[in-house]
Structure 1
Amino acid sequence: MKVIGITGGVGSGKSTILEYIGRVYNARVIQADKVGHLMMETGQPGYYQVVETFGSGILNGDQTVNRAKLSALVFEKPELLAKLEKIIHPAVKAYIVEEIDKERTAGKLSLVLVEAALLIEDNYRVLCDEFWYIYAADEIRRERLKRWRGYSDEKVDRIMAHQMSAEEYRRHCEEEIDNNGELSDVYGQIDQIMKKRGIHKRQKM
């Protein structure tokens, strides 16, 4: 079983590629962002640490964490974002390590895909056999973020200013998937990469 780290700038279309691989190949997808949400659910250790750090003002009426409020609170304050990351990132990584170990023990999968915003910066290399970079041009990413997420140009500028350049991503990754064009072309690139590694599609039932 191979463990592949998936990375790329915001708006590059990582979710589309993860969906395809998870559907077509014998693979499991683990997205760190979703695990982070799980770590902040009521009853999780991260929940209590987040509430203690940021106060009850980030809670909904049912005492669950309002992620939109929390995001707005930390978005423009690096010191608060650092506090949040210090709580959540170690818990997320520990969860992912445990899930990879479970899948290795079960021995049923060809691939586990790990997608994380800080895949490179947070040293996920120790967990992954390879990193794959999903590339899309800045103008295409910008248009996707405005259309799909309703982001303003100003918000896109702020987000993109804090992300790695394409050259930096490429230095750390074994493969690059160009996600500027038609999905059929993107899927073809993925299939070629899998073929090189001897990884086959799921058997159709």
Structure 2
Amino acid sequence: MTPSNKLIIGLTGGIGSGKSAAAARFAEAHGIHVVDADIKSRVVVEPGRPALHRIVDRFGDLVLQDDGTLNRAVLRERVFQDPEQRRWLEQLLHPLIRDEIITDLAAAESPYALLVSPLLVESGQYQMTQRVLVVDVPEALQIARTTARDNVPEQQVRAILQAQAQREDRLRHAHDVITNDKDLAALHQQVDQLHQYYLALSTGAKP
């Protein structure tokens, strides 16, 4: 179910785990092609896209900003309070996001490519990858980092955590784990080691 014969690594982790920092290291230090599912999720709801019309039909103009773009914060608040609405939104968006991801991964020219997604496990996107890399941190650290970074209440962060795969479930899917409970240098060191490992895998060598 992968877009090509290229080695695809799925990178995931809960909110505030440091996925973006890990992905940036793969891209900037090693030139790896990174596809970010969060960015694709914004593309499919851009103005003029059919998905945005369907969202407005269901939730009303309150989910639009003055410039006609989707107010993601308002929509997030609505769907995280109602599991049925969240399921409806996921059924609409996940297939569209998947198509965007496949197209982008197919264009990768680096030895392997990275698919970064907070919902890699829940959405089934891990089926597009050969290996799953989890950035893992204790829940208390996730909450502390996210409230500080996004200036949102702890209750909202906990609601997002509940909607994402549980830590144990992510780790069950993991082939590789980065423990990101220290500083950025420690994170970079783990990424650099994994890069060498993935290079060997991409050439068919036994690491």
| Range of TM-score over shorter length | 0.7 to 0.9
Counterparts of 2:73 and 2:11, CA distance in 1: 25
Q: Report deviation, 1:119.
A: 0.8
Q: Report deviation, 1:90.
A: 0.9
8 Å contact 1:7–1:14 — kept in the other structure? yes
Change beyond 3 A, Cα 1:26–1:110? farther
Q: Report deviation, 1:155.
A: 2.0
Structure 1 unaligned regions, length at least 5: 200-205
Identity fraction in percent: 27
Which residue number in structure 1 is paired with residue 139 of structure 2? 138
8 Å contact 1:179–1:186 — kept in the other structure? yes
Q: Report deviation, 1:121.
A: 2.0
Counterparts of 1:142 and 1:57, CA distance in 2: 28
Which residue number in structure 2 is paired with residue 202 of structure 1? none
Which residue number in structure 2 is paired with residue 11 of structure 1? 16
- Please tell me the residue identity of whatever aligns with 2:190: Q
What CA RMSD, in Å, does the superposition of the two structures yield over aligned residues? 1.7
Higher deviation after alignment, 161-170 or 125-134: 161-170
Counterparts of 1:83 and 1:167, CA distance in 2: 26
Change beyond 3 A, Cα 1:64–1:168? closer
Task: Give the TM-score taking structure 2 as reference length.
Answer: 0.86
8 Å contact 2:146–2:157 — kept in the other structure? yes
Task: Give the TM-score taking structure 1 as reference length.
Answer: 0.87
Q: Report deviation, 1:24.
A: 1.0
Measured against aligned partners, the alpha-carbon deviations of 1:129-159 in whole angstroms (never above 9, x if no partner) come to 1110001112211110121111222222222
1:34 aligns with 2:46: no
SS at match of 2:199: coil
- Please tell me the residue identity of whatever aligns with 1:27: I
Change beyond 3 A, Cα 1:188–1:43? same
Which residue number in structure 1 is paired with residue 177 of structure 2? 176
Counterparts of 1:153 and 1:18, CA distance in 2: 26
Counterparts of 1:30 and 1:83, CA distance in 2: 24
Change beyond 3 A, Cα 1:57–1:168? closer
Structure 2 unaligned regions, length at least 5: 1-5, 201-207
8 Å contact 1:8–1:169 — kept in the other structure? yes
